[in-house]
Amino acid sequence: MKLNDKQIAIVGGGPGGLTLARLLQLKGANVKVYERDTDKYARVQGSPLDLHDESGLAAIRKADLLDEFKKNYMPGADKAIITNHNAEIIFKDHEAKPDENFGHEHFRPEIDRGPLRNILLESLESDTVIWDSHFINMEEQRNGWLLHFKNGASFYADIVIAADGANSKIRTYLTDIKPFYSGITMLEGNIYNARETAPNFSAMLDGGKIMAFGNSKCILGGQKGNGDIGFYASIKIDQNWATNSGIDYTDNKQLLEWFGQEYPEWGTIWNELFENAASFIPRPIYCMPLDQTWEAKPNLTLLGDAAHVMPPFAGEGVNMAMLDALELSECLTSDEFNSTQDAIAHYETTMRKRASEAATESLKNGEMMHSEGALEKMLAFFSGH
């Protein structure tokens, strides 16, 4: 195996990086994961993830973790309602969709990020993750890289894999291509203990998801395993709105006033979300150019958002990252290639093509979801399934 006697450094301990570490360890590779969090309890993980059969779940199966996944996923969380701007339910699949349908191409079971991360962490050898490792820079040394971290530590690796997200610092060592703004910004809100603090929406969601459309704007949300609600007010707006708006994102009163001004046709039923959210985060949505390319290196590559950040309107982000991990692990451990550079080049060519297709779909969906006839178009889309 080309990885014999090679030290591999994965920078970033998200689903993509941890999946890759698991898959490489199953093949006997020497892997370390460098994660900037101080430990696995350092921060609350974000919204639930839906895994797709041909990508995220394929990686879970290859990692021999499907049984653990089944113990931790949220049955019924993939069920959805679609409403108009007054929260009137136009579509609901809660009765029609089975709780468990593993193996079906359209079954997309949801799992909270925390439990997914724990499944992957617990599958690794005990000393795999080096916590409190905030990457600063690296320099070429011998045939590999010497990585430097904020805590003063430095480590050598023969191969470095960037799994450090959309703001990857490692990406610049491979390419100077930058993402472009999609035209859409999503304002993320989180409501804790939602059954008591937002009872109307908690009852409406019933453990599932909501998509609301009207007047070229939308609200998307879902219930987490602990009953909390995460939601997004999604609008087409100037790229610099988040920094230039003057809004204090910790002030619910200001956010409620903004909602009333930006969503004037929407009913007051939505006020429950903005009145009770414990936090708001504006998230401008970016996408990598669809035709990006670079020359492969023998000792450096990317996966996930570090390679192909894309809008979230096709649910492909984590699935692409985990499929990246699956395909990269197979390339690096295959006898088909003469060198690590050949293996990485093959992976990157396939990955970029696949990511471009997913990003194209996501951009198209984003345009549809923010169009004047979004409600009718989304109803037709879901009826097609």
pLDDT digits (tens, 9 = 90+) for 187-221: 999 999 999 999 999 999 988 999 999 999 999 99
> Contact at 8 Å (CB) between 102 and 51?
no
Determine whether the annotation assigns residue 108 to a binding site.
Answer: no
| Fold matches, 7-72+112-178+289-368 and 180-287 | no
Determine whether the annotation assigns residue 305 to a binding site.
Answer: yes
Average pLDDT, the chain: 93
More confident residue, 151 or 47: 151
Report pTM.
0.94
Q: Is residue 358 left, alpha or beta, with left meaning phi > 0 and alpha meaning psi from -120 to 50?
A: alpha
Determine whether the annotation assigns residue 50 to a binding site.
Answer: yes
Q: What pLDDT was estimated at residue 177?
A: 97
Q: What pLDDT was estimated at residue 383?
A: 74
pLDDT for residue 2 is more than 80:
no
pLDDT for residue 225 is more than 90:
no
- Tracing tokens 């468990």 back to the chain, one arrives at 100
Residue 295: partners with Cβ closer than 8 Å, 6 or more residues away: none
Q: What pLDDT was estimated at residue 103?
A: 79
Residue 72: partners with Cβ closer than 8 Å, 6 or more residues away: 111, 115, 116, 118, 119
Determine whether the annotation assigns residue 43 to a binding site.
Answer: yes
Amino acid in position 188: E
Q: What pLDDT was estimated at residue 385?
A: 52
Q: What is the pLDDT of residues 90-118, one digit of tens each?
A: 999 887 777 777 877 778 899 999 999 99
- Over residues 63-92, the mean pLDDT reads 94
Q: What pLDDT was estimated at residue 314?
A: 87
Enter the DSSP assignment of 333. Answer: T
pLDDT for residue 238 is more than 60:
yes
* Residue ranges of domains in the chain: 7-72+112-178+289-368, 180-287
Give buried/exposed letters for 230-240 (b at 16+ CB in 10 A, else e): bbbbbbebebe
Q: What is the pLDDT of residues 317-376, one digit of tens each?
A: 999 999 999 999 999 999 999 999 999 999 999 999 999 999 999 999 999 999 999 999
Number of H helices, E strands in the chain: 13, 17
Banded pLDDT at 315 (limits 50, 70, 90): confident
Query: What distances in angstroms separate CA 322 from CA 16, 88, 313, 343, one per listed residue?
Result: 5, 36, 18, 18
CATH of 180-287, one of 3.40.50.620, 3.40.50.10800, 3.30.9.30, 2.40.10.230: 3.30.9.30
> Contact at 8 Å (CB) between 351 and 193?
no
Neighbours of 137 (CB within 10 A): 12
CATH number assigned to the domain covering 7-72+112-178+289-368: 3.50.50.60
Report the alpha-carbon distance of residue 105 to residue 274 in Å, rounded. Answer: 36
Alpha helices in the chain, H assignment, sequence order: 15-26, 56-62, 66-72, 113-122, 194-197, 199-205, 241-244, 252-262, 271-276, 305-308, 317-332, 340-369, 374-384
> Contact at 8 Å (CB) between 65 and 25?
no
Q: What pLDDT was estimated at residue 48?
A: 84
